[in-house]
């Protein structure tokens, strides 16, 4: 038995690490192959960093590293076959980029790390190698912690970069940073301070990547608008779309038009309803269900096929497995996969549409509406109203409660927290964390809803833009002087990049829950506490008292 070790998400076993099988359902072999893939990416990066110094940008390497990082995020890809293939392809690319370095007149003499030179003769070789290069192979606990914090930040960055890339937006500086960071995690000469500096730099690129994606989304699909989203069902068969990829969503909407098949959103696809470009489709019916972890029940009662464009996929139950389709970097052995775009043409969703035609319409699980679409453009257009409300003390405080949801029992805290917040406070949210309180009917303050949903987790950027604009409007020196508190819920690695981005923007005293990351060593936690005032959560009553003081 080889064992595994993964502690990259909030649900890691016993708050320490998954060692036999992931709580997420990831098997030991897949966990180890993911580690090996990261190792291969680090090896490629040792060369690509040098190649870049020659003024050469390699698009294929940039794309491969970005997509591969994304594929290892929690709940994206569980397929052994996919990771074996990616490792094989990675080793091939490593050779190509090495040749480019040599042919470009660069030197490979200093590149001697095992990650840059090892070879695999086949799958068994990969499995054997994987067991030797895992996270625990870095012995020093603090160095390990900082290396992993950096890698998880870069994974989150890759996810957002990939969404922007799909829409035709890219930034070579972001690719360059990802590769620099990956290579740096192999460098034993770097001290803890050096790694802390890289983690902070990661936050800078976190801001950049979220700004890039914001530009990509709003230029392509318009600025999100205040929208009432139906949460009931229609009478036609439907396709349920989850994940974060708006391009997949757009193409599916187009291809389902006039087919008698309706389209629904699930989980993090809910904010698709806020975009002007999607509102014109009358067969775009509603948002069905809640956050990702409830999919086992909700996918079953939906009756129609489900398209997983990105995370979070829970290993599908037999009862609906044949109705699940993955696409992009998502994968699960035995689940149908819709292939990538070729030659700039749209993906072909015929199979899932045909499947839907033969299904029953979804079972209604709830009825009513939720309101969202409060991204920066909308909120800034309401700035006068918001500023007046703060000045007149009608609004005492804003609470940023963005982030992820998860199945852990302790997350009831966020529902209770939202319910118990004084009525003169407003929640700013983004990400799937919102499902803990977006159906509570918390009312409004002079027409401003008490839950303002900016969109997906990447739209947390909107919340930062709003804070910076308010700082300006109030003529403040420091964003921390605003009446805004941060009580953020995290689960996977995209939340890590959002957190690092907020730290880079100078936001202090962020509270993170339901538990602090297992990958932060006690010393690294101390640094975050001392430098940024980061804290965990305690009881709802105590926390509200602390925030309102
Ligand atoms: Fe465990 Fe999370 Fe890693 Fe899955 S992603 S193996 S639940 S730590
Ligand atoms: Fe949610 Fe997975 Fe993180 Fe996009 S979809 S926020 S958990």
Distance CA 84, CA 36 (A): 9
- What Rg, from alpha-carbon coordinates, does the chain have? 23
Nearest by Cα to 402 from 512, 310, 547, 296:
512
Q: What is the pLDDT of residues 507-530, one digit of tens each?
A: 999 999 999 999 999 999 999 999
Residue 104: pLDDT above 70? yes
The closest residue, in CA terms, to atom 3 on ligand 2 is 404
Q: Give per-residue pLDDT as tens, 437-493.
A: 999 999 999 999 999 999 999 999 999 999 999 999 999 999 999 999 999 999 999
Residue 350's pLDDT band, with cuts at 50, 70 and 90, is very high
Q: Is the CB of 271 under 6 A from ligand 2?
A: no
pLDDT above 70 covers a percentage of the chain that reads 100
Domains and CATH numbers, the chain: 1-137 (1.20.1270.20), 227-357 (3.40.50.2030), 371-548 (3.40.50.2030)
Q: Which is nearest to 471 in space by CA: 390, 378, 529?
A: 390
Please tell me the predicted confidence (pLDDT) of residue 43. 98
CA of 209 to the centre of ligand 2 (A): 17
CA 31 to centroid of ligand 1, rounded, Å: 8
Query: How confident is the model at residue 18, as a pLDDT?
Result: 98
The proportion of the chain whose per-residue pLDDT surpasses 90, expressed as a percent, equals 98
Q: Is 494 in the pocket of ligand 2 (CB under 6 A)?
A: yes
Per the CB < 8 A criterion, the answer to whether 73 and 163 are in contact is no
Cα 390 from chain centroid? 32
List the one residue out of 250, 171, 172, 176 whose CA is nearest residue 210.
171
Residues 270, 287 contacting (CB under 8 angstroms):
yes
Would you list the DSSP string of 433-498?
A: GGGGTTTS---EETTEESEEE--SGGGHHHHHHHHHHHHHHTT-S-GGGSSEEEEEE--SHHHHHH
The finding on whether 493 has its CB within 6 A of some atom of ligand 2 is no
Atom number in ligand 2 closest to CA 75? 2
> Phi and psi (nearest 5°) for 166?
-60, -30
Asked if residue 344 lies in contact with residue 338, where contact means CB atoms within 8 angstroms, the answer is no
* Rounded Cα gap, residues 182 and 154, in angstroms: 8
The ligand 2 atom nearest the CA atom of 495: 3
HSE (CB half, 13 Å, CA atoms) of 497? 31
For residue 2, pLDDT over 90 is answered with no
Cβ–Cβ < 8 Å for 241, 250:
no
Q: Please report, for residues 108, 114, 124, 232, the alpha-carbon distance to residue 92 in angstroms, rounded to integers and kept in the order given.
A: 17, 16, 18, 49
Read off the tokens for 502.
């907020």
Segment 165-217, tens digit of pLDDT? 999 999 999 999 999 999 999 999 999 999 999 999 999 999 999 999 999 99
Tell me, what's the pLDDT at 61?
Answer: 98
Task: Tell how far the Cα of 8 is from the centroid of ligand 1, in angstroms.
Answer: 6
Q: Is the pLDDT of residue 1 over 60?
A: no
Q: What is the mean pLDDT of the chain?
A: 97
* Ligand 2 proximity of 502 Cβ (cutoff 6 Å): no
Distance 308 CA to ligand 2 centre (A): 13
302 — pLDDT class (breaks 50, 70, 90): very high
Is it the case that residue 338 has pLDDT exceeding 70?
yes
């Amino acid at each position: 038995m080889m064992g595994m070790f993964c502690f990259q998400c909030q649900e890691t076993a016993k708050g320490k690490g998954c060692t036999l099988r992931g709580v997420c359902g990831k098997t030991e072999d897949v966990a180890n192959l993911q580690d090996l893939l990261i190792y291969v990416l680090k090896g490629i990066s040792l060369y690509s960093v040098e190649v870049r110094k020659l003024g050469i940008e390699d698009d294929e390497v940039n794309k491969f590293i970005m997509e591969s990082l994304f594929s290892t995020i929690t709940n994206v890809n569980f397929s052994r076959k996919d990771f074996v293939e990616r490792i094989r392809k990675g080793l091939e690319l490593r050779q190509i980029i090495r040749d480019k370095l040599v042919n470009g007149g660069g030197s490979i003499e200093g590149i001697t790390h095992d990650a840059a030179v090892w070879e695999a003769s086949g799958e068994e070789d990969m499995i054997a190698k994987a067991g030797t290069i895992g996270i625990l192979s870095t012995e020093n606990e603090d160095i390990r912690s900082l290396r992993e914090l950096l890698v998880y930040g870069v994974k989150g960055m890759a996810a957002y970069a990939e969404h922007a890339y799909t829409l035709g937006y890219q930034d070579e500086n972001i690719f360059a940073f990802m590769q620099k960071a990956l290579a740096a995690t192999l460098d034993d000469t770097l001290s803890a301070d050096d790694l802390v500096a890289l983690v902070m730099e990661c936050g800078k690129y976190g801001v950049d990547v979220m700004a890039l994606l914001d530009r990509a989304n709003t230029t392509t699909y318009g600025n999100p608008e205040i929208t009432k989203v139906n949460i009931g069902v229609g009478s036609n068969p439907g396709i349920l779309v989850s994940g974060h990829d708006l391009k997949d969503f757009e193409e599916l909407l187009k291809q389902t038009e006039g087919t008698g098949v309706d389209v629904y959103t699930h989980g993090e696809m809910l904010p698709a309803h806020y975009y002007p470009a999607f509102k014109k489709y009358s067969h775009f019916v509603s948002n069905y269900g809640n956050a990702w972890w409830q999919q086992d029940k909700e996918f079953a009662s939906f009756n129609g096929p489900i398209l997983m464009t990105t995370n979070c996929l829970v290993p599908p139950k037999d009862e609906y497995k044949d109705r699940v389709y993955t696409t992009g970097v998502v994968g699960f052995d035995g689940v149908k996969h819709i292939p990538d775009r070729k030659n700039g043409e749209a993906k072909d969703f015929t199979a899932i549409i045909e499947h839907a035609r033969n299904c029953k319409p979804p079972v209604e699980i709830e009825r009513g509406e939720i309101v969202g679409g409060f991204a920066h453009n909308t909120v800034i257009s309401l700035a006068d109203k918001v500023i007046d409300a703060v000045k007149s003390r009608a609004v005492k405080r804003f609470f940023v409660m963005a982030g992820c949801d998860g199945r852990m029992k302790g997350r009831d805290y966020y529902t209770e927290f939202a319910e118990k917040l004084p009525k003169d406070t407003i929640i700013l949210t983004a990400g799937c964390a919102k499902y803990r309180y977006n159906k509570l009917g918390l009312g409004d303050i002079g027409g401003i809803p008490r839950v303002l949903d900016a969109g997906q987790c990447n739209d947390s950027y909107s919340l930062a833009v709003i804070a910076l604009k308010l700082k300006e409007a109030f003529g403040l020196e420091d964003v921390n002087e605003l009446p805004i508190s941060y009580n953020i819920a995290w689960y996977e690695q995209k939340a890590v990049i959002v957190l690092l981005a907020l730290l880079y923007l100078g936001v202090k005293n962020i509270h993170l829950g339901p538990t602090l990351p297992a990958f932060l060593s006690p010393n690294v936690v101390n640094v975050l506490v001392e430098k940024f005032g980061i804290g965990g959560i305690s009881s709802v009553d105590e926390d509200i008292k602390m925030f309102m003081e």
